[in-house]
A and B are shown apart, each in its own frame.
Chain A
Amino acid sequence: MLEKTGIATKEMFEKMLPSAERRKRGPYVVIECYEQIPCNPCVTSCAAHAVTMKDINDLPKCNHDVCTGCTLCVSICPGLACFVIDETVGNGKIKITLPYEMSPLPEKGNVVDALGRDGSVVGKAEVVRVNSGKKLDRTSVITVLVDDDLIYDVRSIAVR
Chain B
Amino acid sequence: MKFSDILIVGGGPAGMSAALAAADEGVRITIMDRWDELGGQLIKQTHRFFGSEKEHAGTRGIEIVKILREDIAKNPLIEVKCNTDVLGIYSDRVIAYEEDRLYHRMTADKIIICTGAAEKMLQFENNDLPGVYGAGAVQTLMNVYGIQPGQKVLMIGAGNIGLIVTYQLLQAGVDVAAIVEAAPVIGGYKVHASKVRRLGVPIYTKTTVKTALGDKYVTGAVLADVDDKFEIIPGTEREIEVDTICLSVGLAPLGELISQAGAEIRYIPQLGGFIPKRSESMETSAPGIYVAGDVSCIEEATAAMIEGSIAGLSAAIATGMNRPEAIEKRDEYIEELRVLRSGNTGKKIRDGLAML
Write the residues of chain A forming the contact surface with B, with a CB cutoff of 8 angstroms: 2-8, 32-41, 44-45, 55-58, 76-81, 101-103, 115-120, 137-139, 155-156
Please tell me if the beta carbons of B52 and A119 are within 8 angstroms of each other in the complex.
Answer: no
Dominant secondary structure of chain A at its interface with chain B: loop
A38, A44, A79: which has the most chain B beta carbons within 10 Å?
A38
**Which residues of B from 126 to 140 have beta carbons under 8 Å from A?**
none
Total residue contacts A-B, CB cutoff 8 A: 134
In the complex, A119→B58 CA distance in Å? Answer: 25
Please tell me if the beta carbons of A77 and B58 are within 8 angstroms of each other in the complex.
Answer: yes
- Residue of A3, A5, A77, A101 near B197 (CB, 8 A) is A5
Please tell me if the beta carbons of B171 and A40 are within 8 angstroms of each other in the complex.
Answer: no
Taking the complex as formed, is B194 at the interface, i.e. its CB lies under 8 A from any CB of chain A? yes
Write the residues of chain B forming the contact surface with A, with a CB cutoff of 8 angstroms: 47-53, 57-60, 63, 170-171, 184-186, 189-203, 205, 302, 339-346
In the complex, A35→B195 CA distance in Å? Answer: 14
Please tell me if the beta carbons of A37 and B50 are within 8 angstroms of each other in the complex.
Answer: yes
In the complex, A27→B52 CA distance in Å? Answer: 27
Please tell me if the beta carbons of A79 and B201 are within 8 angstroms of each other in the complex.
Answer: no
| Cβ distance B182 to chain A, nearest Cβ, rounded Å | 13
Having A40-B52, A119-B197, one finds 19 other A-B pairs with CB under 8 Å, namely: A2-B194, A4-B184, A5-B193, A6-B190, A6-B203, A8-B190, A36-B345, A38-B51, A38-B345, A45-B53, A57-B343, A57-B344, A77-B48, A78-B47, A79-B195, A80-B191, A117-B194, A137-B59, A155-B198
Which partner residue on chain B sits nearest A154 by CB separation? B198
Please tell me if the beta carbons of A35 and B191 are within 8 angstroms of each other in the complex.
Answer: yes
In the complex, A45→B48 CA distance in Å? Answer: 14
In the complex, A57→B51 CA distance in Å? Answer: 9
Q: Which chain A residues border B193 with CB–CB below 8 Å?
A: 2, 5-6
| Cβ distance B184 to chain A, nearest Cβ, rounded Å | 7
Which partner residue on chain B sits nearest A4 by CB separation? B205
Please tell me if the beta carbons of A117 and B198 are within 8 angstroms of each other in the complex.
Answer: yes
Please tell me if the beta carbons of B52 and A6 are within 8 angstroms of each other in the complex.
Answer: no
Q: Which chain A residues border B201 with CB–CB below 8 Å?
A: 119
Chosen A-B contacts, 20 in total, with CB atoms closer than 8 Å, are A2-B190, A4-B185, A6-B186, A6-B197, A35-B189, A35-B191, A36-B345, A38-B51, A38-B346, A39-B50, A41-B50, A57-B340, A57-B342, A58-B343, A78-B48, A78-B49, A117-B197, A137-B59, A156-B198, A156-B199
Which partner residue on chain B sits nearest A98 by CB separation? B198
Which partner residue on chain A sits nearest B50 by CB separation? A39
- Top 5 A-B pairs ranked by shortest CB distance? A57-B343, A119-B200, A79-B191, A6-B193, A41-B58
Q: Which chain A residues border B186 with CB–CB below 8 Å?
A: 3-4, 6
| Cβ distance A107 to chain B, nearest Cβ, rounded Å | 19
Q: Which chain B residues border A155 with CB–CB below 8 Å?
A: 194, 198
| Cβ distance A153 to chain B, nearest Cβ, rounded Å | 10
In the complex, A44→B50 CA distance in Å? Answer: 12
| Cβ distance B320 to chain A, nearest Cβ, rounded Å | 34
| Cβ distance B300 to chain A, nearest Cβ, rounded Å | 8
Please tell me if the beta carbons of B200 and A34 are within 8 angstroms of each other in the complex.
Answer: no
In the complex, A32→B196 CA distance in Å? Answer: 15
Please tell me if the beta carbons of A118 and B302 are within 8 angstroms of each other in the complex.
Answer: no
